[in-house]
Amino acid sequence: MIRYIVKRLLMLIPVVLGVTFLVFTLLHFTPGDPAVNALGATSTEEARQAWREERGLNDPFFVQFANYCKEVFLHGNFGRSYSGNRSISDEIKSRLPISARLALLAILIDFLVGTPIGIISAVKRYSALDNILMLLALFMVSMPGFWIGLELSIIFALKLRLLPASGLYGPQYYILPVISIALGGVSAAARMTRSCMLDVIGSDYMVTARAKGVSEKIIILKHGLKNALIPIITQIGGAAAGMIGGAMITEIVFSIPGMGTYMTNAIQSRDYPVVLGCVVVLSFLACIILLITDLAYAFVDPRIRAQFGGGKKKSKKEDA
């Protein structure tokens, strides 16, 4: 298991470097002059030239990329933003926990709500309840998160005045944005759970368990769900990797100072170092989440755990 984790962590290096190079290249050749964006259209050419020289923008492309990688991966320094000249590392440190909390709460809702709905639909397959639940899931998964956020704000904040519509100053401020982010994931988790449960619900071991007189609840939860968990974990892990960005537009709708808002504002103002720093951090976190997803397979399926742990020892014994 440890060797597998180390191997996967080493594989993160070329992945993150590749993402960094791709985004760095796209931003480098994007039309527009960063000096003009930072200093304004009324600035002199001498001031712009001095500004570019100070930030190394006059160096060759590969020299700029090498210097950036050295600062980021060796010193953890993402540079300073063009607008405001603030430390990008400090901004990410303050904003990332906010987006991470939103993502974690949304993921928990996805699993705790979407999975039971999928199980109920599978057990009551082709019934009126199944059709209603799957119709609602199809409707919710088709709706953009920002539209759901706007509707929730209008209903619960503007009309009913039950919940705050913006900011993040207490537990009650998390309710609407988390629901906006989670509803699509709940629908996807419910549909995936239903599909996986239908694949295993008629399996031979399920029929044998019923023949032995095992209660239906134990059959569904212990035998059925356990064998259907791997695709469900895959779906939730992929959703978690996407949510870590804070569901950018949702953060803007609710005026949440997270990674999504920070990155979106940087894109609008062409603050390229901020965009690049956010992409590098989010890509690294996405790789870590996918690694955790792979490791979760080992705890669900003992066959995968055996491959991680004792595959080579077993083969040596067989050779002897």
Residues contacting 265, CB < 8 A, separation 6+: 271
Q: To 5 degrees, how large is the angle CA 126–CA 220–CA 186?
A: 65
Q: Convert 114-153 into a string of H (helix), E (strand) and C (coil).
A: HHHHHHHHHHCCCCHHHHHHHHHHHHHHHCCHHHHHHHHH
Q: Taking the model in full, what pTM does it have?
A: 0.82
Q: What pLDDT score was predicted for residue 274?
A: 92
Could you read off the pLDDT of 187-218 as tens digits, one per residue? 989 999 999 888 888 788 888 888 888 888 88
Q: What pLDDT score was predicted for residue 176?
A: 93
DSSP secondary structure letter of residue 77? -
Evaluate whether 275 touches 116 at the Cβ level (below 8 Å): no
| Residue corresponding to tokens 């993040």 | 168
DSSP secondary structure letter of residue 87? B
C-alpha distance across the termini of the chain, in Å: 24
Share of the chain above pLDDT 90, in %: 28
Half-sphere exposure of 211 (CA within 13 A, CB side): 7
Could you read off the pLDDT of 99-130 as tens digits, one per residue? 889 988 999 999 899 999 999 999 898 899 99
Cα distances from 128 to residues 18, 125, 297, in angstroms, run 49, 9, 34
State how far the Cα of 302 lies from the Cα of 129, in Å rounded to an integer.
34
State how far the Cα of 173 lies from the Cα of 153, in Å rounded to an integer.
11
Domains in the chain with CATH codes? 93-260+290-310 (1.10.3720.10)
Residues contacting 9, CB < 8 A, separation 6+: 291
Q: Which residues of the chain have pLDDT under 50?
A: 311-320
Residue 122 CB coordination number (10 Å): 23
Evaluate whether 67 touches 57 at the Cβ level (below 8 Å): no
Sign of CA dihedral 17, 23, 26, 29: negative
CA 196 to chain centre: 22
Q: What pLDDT score was predicted for residue 309?
A: 59
| Residue corresponding to tokens 């989440």 | 289
Q: What pLDDT score was predicted for residue 296?
A: 83
Evaluate whether 78 touches 152 at the Cβ level (below 8 Å): no
Residue 152, class by beta-carbon neighbours within 10 Å (0-12 exposed, 13-18 middle, 19+ buried)? buried
Query: Which amino acid would we find at residue 72?
Result: V
Could you read off the pLDDT of 124-151 as tens digits, one per residue? 988 999 999 999 998 888 888 788 888 9
State how far the Cα of 134 lies from the Cα of 137, in Å rounded to an integer.
5
Q: What pLDDT score was predicted for residue 105?
A: 92
Residue 137, class by beta-carbon neighbours within 10 Å (0-12 exposed, 13-18 middle, 19+ buried)? buried
